[in-house]
Chain A
Amino acid sequence: MSHDRARTDGSVPALELRGISKRYGPVVACDAVDLTVERGEVHGLLGENGAGKSTLMKVLMGLVSPDAGEIHRDGARVEVHTPQQAAGHGLGMVHQHFSLIEPLTVWENVALGEPGRIDRDAVCADVEAVGARYGLTIDPTARVERLSAGERQRVELIKALRRDPKVLVLDEPTSVLTIAESAALFEVLRTSVAAEGRGVILISHKLAEITAATDVVTVLRRGRLAFHCRTADTSAPELARRMVGRDVSLQAEGAALGLVVTDDPAKHLSPVLAGGLSAVPAEPPAPQAPADVPGTAALALHGLRLAGPDGRVLLDSLDLEVATGEIVALYGVEGNGQATLGDLLSGLIAPDAGEVHVAGRPVALDRPGALHEAGVGVIPEDRHRSGVVLDMSVADNLVMTDLRRYSGRLLMRRAKIRAQAEELVERFAIRTPSIDAPLRTLSGGNQQRVVLARELSAEPTVLVAAQPTHGLDVGAIEDMFARLREAAASGVAVLLISTELEEVMALASRIAVISSGRITGVLDVADASPQRLGMLVGGEAA
């Protein structure tokens, strides 16, 4: 443990957390954690799901009061009891889950919570200026409810950056940004951080991002400080080991972590990392599906067409087939209709035209639950929005899509629910104090696992997995990959909606590329070169 080593030049650190502890009943979320952020430093914070990263940062932001510990800013002890105080001390944070008000516009959300008069034009100009500077373009007058997850993330980032924080906390900021976006963001962040003497704390499960973008890393394990070191002196495999406490075979999850090097031109990997890991072979493609299955595909989308309320075409004659036992990836830049398709397959919206066939039979899309009954399981992209009920218990969340199985004529079968919940918590390693805890109190990654556990355990015939590894830690990603392959091997048709090329290449046997709501091409993974995919992603036919 060498966290005292960080300071070399005798200057006062921008931020120092000393001995922060926080317990939630029996759960120790943070256990005497020390953390020092120097000026001009990007500090990586790593740890498994539920390690206490978000809690530590919420203490810093005055959102959670710690049981013990001190916060020092520029060498002086400060009291941070409210978010306003935190902002006053120059602390800013982008949260793991969105905290935007959906019916409001982008600029309104950005200005929200600021004291004093609000000047619409000034805020809009600011949004554009900050956006241009950090490579996060967004229309300030757009309504947030119309934005894709990636666009929302940009709004959150702009909101935090506009307040010009001296220390900026980013809690998994890039899980829904494209690789190009996050690379651009970090490049600008690094230069501005170094030039202006700011500090940044970056929480991420993507080791490639950590090793490429940070100067120092700290690893938390079960609320305790487990490891601290300069980034240059460590490596991704070591960090993974420190996090999990065992050796991780970076093969399986390497792809999702961005460790497997592809020639994607959009991708900026540090040369060290690329050199260090290029030897890791990507997983062989998933079991090959019979090419051109005649007759019935497990999932068939025919001519799906959908226009948004503003008339913008979201899905444009979309055709796609997924055969039994096959993993097909829907790949493309975020915001090209993936979210709409996800909503459609979750039964949240009905298309203007087109049909969805499951195992050869058409599904009545305007009836809620019809897709679910037909055997379509969905891991939605935005889990908080349609995947969980935060104010219900973990157990309830684990069974809520299949109530008939867990109830009699009238009453719920509590014992059966509890048994199932206990089993899933065990099987999917969901870290929760009890199955009766409200889902809201779980860490972000563990909330994800609840959704995954429920949808995977429902034995669907078709599984739609949108960004299934977002927010998961190294071990869980490894597990997720295995489960998806296992599902496909047992005959489930898997549609993987992903913006991450590595994930797609590692898992899918066929890749369908989506652009502006249309499938621009379908390639076998063997023929999928980054160049061809790049052209398709850009909307050109291959």
Chain B
Amino acid sequence: MTAPARRPLASYVVGNAGLRRPSADAWRTAGITVVCVLVACALAALLVAISGGSPTEVVDALVTGSVADSAGWSQTLVNAAPLLLVALGACIANRAGVFNIGQEGQLLIGAMLGCFVALRLQGPGWMVITVALVAAAAGGGAWSGISAAMYYTRGTNVVVTTLLLTFIAAQVVQFAVNSPSLLQETGIGNGPARPQSDAVPEYLRLASFGQYPDLTIGVGVILAVVATVVLAVLIARSRWGFRLNMLGLNPMAARHAGIRASRLGGSALVLSGAFAGLAGGVILLGTVFRLQPAISNNFGWDGLLVALVARSRPGLALPVAVLFGGLRAGSSYLAATGVPDYLVDVVQALLVLAFVVPPVLSALWGRRIRNRSAVPDTPARPSAAPAKEEVPV
């Protein structure tokens, strides 16, 4: 009785397309977030103190690395761009009701193809960069396209295939950077060639505007922001967005209305992989400059998290990505100050949790409140109300 049969999974992951006034729930979520962040900070400080470090220095490093000055902000934005691109892709798939969780692998494949083009293609810089980015997107899209094909022809679970293909992608990249005939670096001098590609030549690196001590904004950031705006408009206003939402929220009704799930849902899955692949290309040409097995550096997983926290709303994914980008920038600065890696990871994980958990807590708490008290004159918030209000009429 508590679980309404007809509530599609997508409706829990997907926020409403339209903008809503901040409600009681939103305020509650904000409050809980503040508390959670404070708790996470306290825990992190405790851990640092126990392991012999200085909590104040850690906090100082986190802030310095992310938001203290324009150099910190530059780092934050550099990290935010790929996160945002991955998240946008995840928004598309989630809205169509197909759950792609293999962005990490799609990003790797994207980076690999981008690298291949950048190293092999001759031509003017702008053209090679464009082709490399398109190839990166195509690679990521093809990788998730495999999952789409398996799902729509044989019904193989998308979550399972996208996840498993991530591990295969990691192996493929390993192979590529270990094969001299493919992408392994042409060892200069005497040392043995390492498992990575040659560096992308200077003229093929993504431009950025601004000089070091000032704020620098890379092409990747601009690309991600433009994509966000376009996607937000498309999802809220276009026929494609309408059909996407419909497919995710009620596939039966969508079919009744003439939507072909294999076409629309399949293309959504491919598109989400393409965004992850593009993120891989941006990382390659924007920051890392060579293909390494670790180039994905959890950007895929974290980007997916961004989309989930943002409830698959592109507009919301933007600030969330900046937040997560800040955390990443702060923690890499922290690592540079000599704090052990594992501590950095724990601190970062605690902070991420502090931002992921509040919406869930808020929903549970809201349910309790609705159960316990009868608050008069509180306008009900129908659409996103938790299970209790969702029991069929």
Contact = CB atoms under 8 A, between A and B. Distances in A.
Interface of A: 23-25, 54, 58, 62-68, 81-83, 95-102, 112-113, 346-348, 367-370, 372-373, 378, 380, 384-393, 396, 400-401, 403-404, 407, 410-412, 414, 436-438, 440-444, 447
Contacts of A100: 5
Contact of A403 (B16, B239, B249): B239
A412 B237 contact: yes
A188 to B, nearest CB: 23
Contacts of A386: 250, 252-253, 255-256
Contacts of B4: 99
B390 interface: yes
B348 to A, nearest CB: 34
Given A95-B393, A100-B5, A438-B383, A65 B373 contact: yes
B205 to A, nearest CB: 34
Contacts of A368: 255, 258-261
B374 A97 contact: no
Interface stretch (B169-177, B240-248, B276-284): B240-248
A390 B377 contact: no
A390 B249 CA distance: 8
A411 B238 contact: yes
A411 B376 contact: no
Nearest to A447: B393
Nearest to B262: A368
Contacts of B256: 346-348, 372, 378, 380, 386-387, 401
Given A65-B370, A67-B376, A95-B393, 13 more contacts: A67-B377, A96-B392, A98-B6, A100-B5, A113-B1, A347-B255, A348-B256, A368-B259, A386-B250, A389-B254, A392-B249, A414-B237, A441-B382
B28 interface: no
A405 to B, nearest CB: 11
Chain B contact residues (Cβ within 8 angstroms of A): what range? Answer: 35 or more
Nearest to A370: B258
Contacts of A378: 256
Contacts of A403: 239, 242-243, 257
B242 A412 contact: yes
A7 B353 CA distance: 58
Interface of B: 1-7, 11, 16, 18, 234, 237-240, 242-243, 245-246, 249-250, 252-261, 370-377, 379-380, 382-383, 388-393
Contacts of A367: 260
B392 A97 contact: yes
Contacts of A411: 237-239
B391 A387 contact: no
B97 to A, nearest CB: 12
Given A67-B377, A83-B1, A391 B383 contact: yes
A505 to B, nearest CB: 29
A81 B372 contact: yes
A368 B263 CA distance: 11
B5 to A, nearest CB: 5
13 contacts: A23-B379, A62-B371, A63-B388, A65-B371, A81-B372, A96-B392, A101-B3, A112-B3, A385-B6, A389-B246, A391-B249, A403-B242, A412-B239
Nearest to A94: B1
A189 B23 CA distance: 45
B119 to A, nearest CB: 37
Given A83-B2, A385-B6, A410-B239, A65 B374 contact: yes
B379 A407 contact: no
Contact of B257 (A64, A96, A369, A410): A369
B255 A440 contact: no
B370 A99 contact: no
Among A66, A95, A390, A443, max chain B CB count under 10 A is at A390
Given A82-B371, A390-B250, A98 B237 contact: no
Contacts of B238: 407, 410-412
Contacts of A436: 18
A82 B11 CA distance: 23
Nearest to A443: B393
A32 to B, nearest CB: 13
Contact of B389 (A54, A64, A396, A443): A64
A54 B393 contact: yes
A62 B1 CA distance: 12
B138 to A, nearest CB: 23
A522 B261 CA distance: 38
A387 B6 CA distance: 12
